[in-house]
Structure 1
Amino acid sequence: MSKVMIVTDSTADIPGELAEKLEIQVVPLKVHFGEEAYEDGVDLSPEEFYKKLNSESVMPSTSQPTPNQFEEVYQKLHKEHAPDIISIHLSSKLSGTFQSAYIAQQTLGESVSLEVIDSKRASYAIGVIVVEAAQMAQQGNPKEEIMARINKMLEDTNVFFMVDTLEYLQKNGRIGKASALVGSLLKIKPILSLNAEGEVYPFEKVRGNKKAVQRILAEFTKLYNAKPLHVGISHSEAEKEAREFMDTMREQFDIRQEVITNIGPVIGAHVGPGTLSIAVTPVER
């Protein structure tokens, strides 16, 4: 029986067991330490990555999958399931991953029913969209209905994140419009987000973690008051803070689905340790 299959990349930071349960196909990016290359989440776990990050003198870099890698995944899914395929990826402002997937789509032409989507987001802000789409696919919803839901989530999903340092974003060239903050962070906690184009920008500057948390909660209240929510918190070596933030969210909002996950090696290479990212999308069920 034909069904819809959902593809994403490793920067969605979806926990492995959840991706397996929902039959989400995850295409890995790579992280490089000098001459050494590792597939994100395949041969380098988040724990191993941050340990290596702390011990290595070289700043890691990252690279996207090739169009051929995507083409192989799409052809395999088409052959084994004869499905419609929806492929959702990291913001094109942060990586060439979407472009690789798009080139693969153009190469395959009409031989495969395939939609390739620029999420304009990163980490589990992609994940909330991918997971909702995969749940609909498992429930037997047709591609058209899943695409309509994805397009709505692309409008309604918001993410805010806090970093301990802008060093990684700056050195890896992903700092975007937050560059104005460099050199001005003494006792200041920047709240960052992604704009409509999928580029990092400074949402607000506050003094200290506590005020940053309060400001994010106030913004979510304004955006989602009384709505049922899917909340995903991703972190890099900040599990305690992630769990505390989720506890607070649970007290204040109607959370129908929640995920706490590690920020993987590729996103971690750009934000560094101590990062906390909170993604929210309204749910319809």
Structure 2
Amino acid sequence: MSKIALITDTTADLTEEVIKKYNIKVLPFRIIYKDREYKDKIEITPEQVYDELPNEVPTSSLPSMNDMDEIFTKLKEEGYTHAVAITLSSGLSGISNAVKLVSENHENITTYVCDSKSISLGEGILVEECGKMIEAGKSFEEIVNTLPSLVKKSHVFFVVKTLEYLKKGGRIGRVAGTIGQLLNIKPIISIGEDGKYFTYDKVRGRKQSLSKLLNIFKEVTQGKKCDVYVMHGNGYKDAQGVYEEISKLDSVKSIQFGGQISPVSGMHSGPGLVGLAFIEKE
């Protein structure tokens, strides 16, 4: 009889409650300063990262191959026959390929790696949906066949206070840079089919960007019902305001306040991120 494991990484921003409920194995990214290194979410908090940004902007690295190898070894010991790994977008990280490589060394576990083409709770939504399918007794084949359609039904949009940190982290892709900062242009950023950031729309000023974020959600979800998450990176007050406005909309089937994004995501976006992740349900 098959036993299916579920693997993800710390950028999925799942709560401890969800991780325990579905027995999810979580790979920590690494945050690297000049003289020290931390495991994302385990050895460092988002607040510590934001506090340190004026002094030093760290770099990040994939979860170690050793961490990945250990997870697959433990899965074998725990009697798992199959594994589904849902990872941060391949357009933002090499983790998908790394997990595939390590899984090939563990042929006794049949593994499917799903590139979320997303980040934060856009990735986390997919992990939770997969957990529900495993809990419901869906077969490995059914899950593998369903996940690509769920990727297409999930969406992420976010705004940041400054593009400075996305630029420093090399994650800015097609997002407008220096000129936009000079003009106080605030892009509403999403992730394209290639898994990379792009400017979905842009406005001038912080207040207008939050309002535009709300309007984009209304446009994209018109005639649909969605499960929604609101998250932030050291931008609690603004995120709470967006949460309250979105809660009133007919397109919202359920909504949760997802809280702080992971430290490794926060170091790339900088303080002040407000984001939406949602998946079409009907």
The letter for the 2-side match of 1:276 is: V
Which whole-Å CA distance do the structure 2 matches of 1:47 and 1:238 have between them?
11
CA change 1:48–1:250 in 2 (3 A) is same
Shift of residue 102, structure 1, vs aligned partner: 1.4
1:99 aligned residue? 97
1:10 aligned residue? 10
Secondary structure of the residue that 2:230 maps to in structure 1?
Answer: strand
8 Å contact 1:2–1:81 — kept in the other structure? no
Which whole-Å CA distance do the structure 2 matches of 1:3 and 1:246 have between them?
38
The letter for the 2-side match of 1:47 is: E
8 Å contact 2:121–2:258 — kept in the other structure? no
1:261 aligned residue? 259
Counterpart mapping for 1:1-285 below 5 A: 2-54=2-54, 57-108=55-106, 110-178=107-175, 180-185=176-181, 186-252=183-249, 253-283=251-281
Shift of residue 258, structure 1, vs aligned partner: 2.4
Higher mean displacement: 164-173 or 227-236: 227-236
Which whole-Å CA distance do the structure 2 matches of 1:28 and 1:211 have between them?
35
8 Å contact 2:114–2:147 — kept in the other structure? no
TM-score with structure 1 length normalisation? 0.91
The letter for the 2-side match of 1:251 is: K
CA deviations 1:97-142 (Å, max 9, x no partner) are: 222111112222x321110122121111111111111122122222
Higher mean displacement: 82-91 or 13-22: 13-22
The letter for the 2-side match of 1:104 is: V
Question: Unaligned regions of 5+ residues in structure 1, if any?
Answer: none
Secondary structure of the residue that 1:177 maps to in structure 2?
Answer: coil
8 Å contact 1:226–1:254 — kept in the other structure? no
Shift of residue 259, structure 1, vs aligned partner: 4.0
Shift of residue 29, structure 1, vs aligned partner: 0.6
Which whole-Å CA distance do the structure 2 matches of 1:233 and 1:149 have between them?
25
Q: How many percent identity over aligned positions?
A: 33
CA change 1:83–1:243 in 2 (3 A) is farther
8 Å contact 1:163–1:271 — kept in the other structure? yes
TM-score with structure 2 length normalisation? 0.92
State the superposition RMSD in angstroms: 1.9
8 Å contact 2:5–2:80 — kept in the other structure? no
Shift of residue 208, structure 1, vs aligned partner: 2.7
8 Å contact 1:238–1:275 — kept in the other structure? yes
Higher mean displacement: 83-92 or 36-45: 83-92
Which whole-Å CA distance do the structure 1 matches of 2:211 and 2:237 have between them?
17
Which whole-Å CA distance do the structure 1 matches of 2:281 and 2:77 have between them?
32
Which whole-Å CA distance do the structure 1 matches of 2:11 and 2:154 have between them?
17
Which whole-Å CA distance do the structure 1 matches of 2:140 and 2:146 have between them?
10
8 Å contact 2:184–2:205 — kept in the other structure? yes
Shift of residue 5, structure 1, vs aligned partner: 1.8
After TM superposition, where is structure 1 displaced by more than 3 Å over at least 4 residues in a row?
A: none
The letter for the 1-side match of 2:119 is: A
The letter for the 2-side match of 1:202 is: T
Aligned length: 280
Which whole-Å CA distance do the structure 2 matches of 1:174 and 1:159 have between them?
16
Q: Which has the higher helix share?
A: 1
CA deviations 1:155-181 (Å, max 9, x no partner) are: 111111101111111111111111x33
8 Å contact 1:62–1:266 — kept in the other structure? yes
